[in-house]
């Protein structure tokens, strides 16, 4: 069995589907602070299997000890965490407590139970700067906000644990920009309130929930002046976790691996692709740069290819098509 913390969330739910399809049995631990219980039925509709679900918090050590003693867990995929950059600047304690203290209590329970295989959700945010070259895992890292700092602290902590005890096997996955949804349109990203990220905002404009998009900055040093990112389909990301899981038994050190497509698209490129996929016009205004944004970054994804035998399959048109299908089928997310 694979314990999936945060398995009810956006990336976790897609990974549970991939795990089941690959023959693994996921068991989800999630406190539902940013997800909905009906994700479980949706996973069942897609795969024919309903994962075991435990509602609870990763900071609850007693609960974790019970979970590890009640279920034969071979490895943990750890998604549970808070991820809103702006909120992390306003409420840093909340982020250090949930993300850092929560992960510490998780690995302590794992150690106690003798479960020493972990796959961790990190982020390209740990690189913290712009680059016109593809970003390799050996680039220097820098935290630019408390959210990014929480990921860096955890990367360091996991690396130290592996150095001290070679029985640990860990893969740190650094995601670039996950977008898209499962092709069924049954699971997808369901942000609370006004979306911060580009794709959820564009799709809410397309469906008529918002009037127009604000494009943050038209004077970046990129091909059309708007910010460039490496968008990756969430199902590719999910299959990257299965690839990492299959890789774990062969490696005993702590490995950091980028998950991206290796291609960069600007905000205007994404608007064009979304207009094509949805057959809707996306009205927009180019406004001031957003504080803390950077010009351009995209992955060198060759390590994932050579070590995990993984490579992204979906292109930007697929990502926009699947985002749009999810948005149309679920105009109010999981609430209907």
Q: How far is the CB of 295 from ligand UD1 (least distance, A)?
A: 8
Spatial CA neighbour of 205 closest among 197, 216, 214, 213: 213
215, interface contact from ligand UD1, ligand NAD, none, CB < 5-8 Å by kind: ligand UD1
Of the chain, the end-to-end C-alpha distance in Å amounts to: 31
Contact string 61-80 vs ligand NAD (x = CB under 6 A): ------------------xx
* 212 within 8 A of 287, measured Cβ to Cβ: no
Q: Which one of 22, 59, 131, 207 is in contact with ligand NAD (CB under 6 A)?
A: 59
Q: Interface with ligand UD1 by CB under 6 A: which range of 40-48, 195-203, 238-246, 323-331?
A: 195-203
Q: Which one of 31, 123, 141, 169 is in contact with ligand UD1 (CB under 6 A)?
A: 123
**Interacting residues with ligand NAD between 98 and 117 (CB under 6 A):** 98, 102
Active site residue 147: yes
**Interacting residues with ligand UD1 between 226 and 245 (CB under 6 A):** 227, 229
For 14-27, b/e burial (b = at least 16 CB within 10 A) is: bbbbbbbeeebbbb
Out of 147, 220, 231, 265, which one is annotated catalytic? Answer: 147
How many Å apart are CA 300 and CA 230, to the nearest integer? 10
Q: Which one of 109, 171, 215, 234 is in contact with ligand UD1 (CB under 6 A)?
A: 215
How many Å apart are CA 13 and CA 42, to the nearest integer? 9
How many Å apart are CA 205 and CA 213, to the nearest integer? 7
**Residue number, nearest CB to ligand UD1:** 227
Interaction of residue 327 with ligand UD1, rule CB under 6 A: no
3-state secondary structure of 258: strand
Q: Who's near 164: CB < 8 A, 6+ residues apart?
A: none
Q: Interface with ligand UD1 by CB under 6 A: which range of 67-75, 207-215, 248-256, 316-324?
A: 207-215
Helix and strand numbers (H, E) in the chain are 12, 13
Q: How far is the CB of 204 from ligand UD1 (least distance, A)?
A: 10
Instruction: Give the interface size with ligand UD1 as a residue count (CB under 6 A).
Output: 19
Q: Which one of 165, 290, 328, 329 is in contact with ligand UD1 (CB under 6 A)?
A: 290
Place of tokens 């390799």: 136
Q: Interface with ligand UD1 by CB under 6 A: which range of 90-98, 102-110, 214-222, 306-314?
A: 214-222
**Interacting residues with ligand NAD between 267 and 296 (CB under 6 A):** none
Q: Is 226 exposed, middle or buried (0-12, 13-18, 19+ CB in 10 A)?
A: buried
**Interacting residues with ligand NAD between 2 and 21 (CB under 6 A):** 5-6, 8-12
What are the structure tokens assigned to 57, written together? 């918090």
Interaction of residue 178 with ligand NAD, rule CB under 6 A: yes
Q: How far is the CB of 294 from ligand UD1 (least distance, A)?
A: 8
Long-range contacts of 61-68 (CB under 8 A, 24+ apart): 61/105, 61/108, 61/109, 63/29, 64/29, 64/105, 64/106, 64/109, 65/109, 65/112, 65/113, 67/3, 67/27, 67/29, 67/109, 68/3, 68/109, 68/110, 68/112, 68/113, 68/115
Place of tokens 């926009």: 320
Catalytic residues: 147
Interacting residues with ligand UD1 (CB under 6 A): 85, 123, 125, 177-178, 196-198, 201, 213-216, 227, 229, 267, 290, 292-293
Interacting residues with ligand NAD (CB under 6 A): 5-6, 8-12, 30-35, 57-59, 79-83, 98, 102, 121, 123, 175, 178
């Amino acid at each position: 069995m694979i314990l999936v913390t945060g398995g009810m969330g956006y990336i976790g739910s897609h990974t549970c589907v991939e795990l089941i399809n690959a023959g693994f049995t996921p068991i989800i631990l999630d406190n539902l602070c940013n997800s909905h219980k009906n994700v479980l039925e949706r996973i069942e509709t897609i795969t024919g299997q309903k994962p075991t679900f435990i509602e609870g918090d990763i900071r609850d050590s007693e609960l974790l000890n019970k979970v590890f003693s009640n279920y034969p867990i071979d490895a943990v995929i750890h998604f549970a965490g808070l991820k809103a950059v702006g909120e992390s600047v306003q409420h840093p304690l909340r982020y250090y407590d949930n993300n850092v203290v929560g992960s510490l209590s998780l690995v302590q329970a794992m150690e106690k139970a003798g479960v020493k295989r972990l796959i961790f959700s990190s982020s390209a945010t740990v690189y913290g700067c712009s680059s016109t070259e593809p970003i390799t895992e050996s680039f220097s890292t820098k935290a630019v906000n408390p959210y990014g700092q929480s990921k860096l602290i955890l990367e360091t902590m996991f690396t130290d644990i592996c150095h001290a005890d070679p029985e640990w096997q860990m893969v740190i996955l650094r995601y670039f920009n996950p977008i898209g949804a499962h092709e069924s349109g049954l699971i997808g990203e369901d942000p609370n309130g006004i979306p911060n990220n580009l794709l959820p905002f564009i799709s809410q404009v397309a469906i008529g929930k918002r009037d127009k998009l604000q494009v943050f900055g038209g004077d970046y040093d990129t091909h059309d002046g708007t910010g460039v990112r490496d968008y990756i389909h969430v199902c590719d990301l999910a299959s990257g976790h299965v690839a990492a899981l299959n890789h774990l038994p062969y490696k005993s050190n702590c490995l950091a691996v980028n998950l991206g497509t290796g291609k960069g698209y600007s905000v205007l490129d994404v608007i064009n692709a979304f207009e094509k996929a949805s057959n809707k016009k996306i009205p927009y205004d180019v406004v001031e740069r957003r504080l803390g944004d950077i010009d351009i970054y995209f992955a060198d994804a060759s390590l994932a290819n050579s070590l995990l035998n993984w490579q992204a399959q979906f292109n930007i048109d697929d990502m926009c098509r699947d985002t749009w299908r999810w948005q149309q089928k679920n105009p109010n997310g999981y609430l209907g």
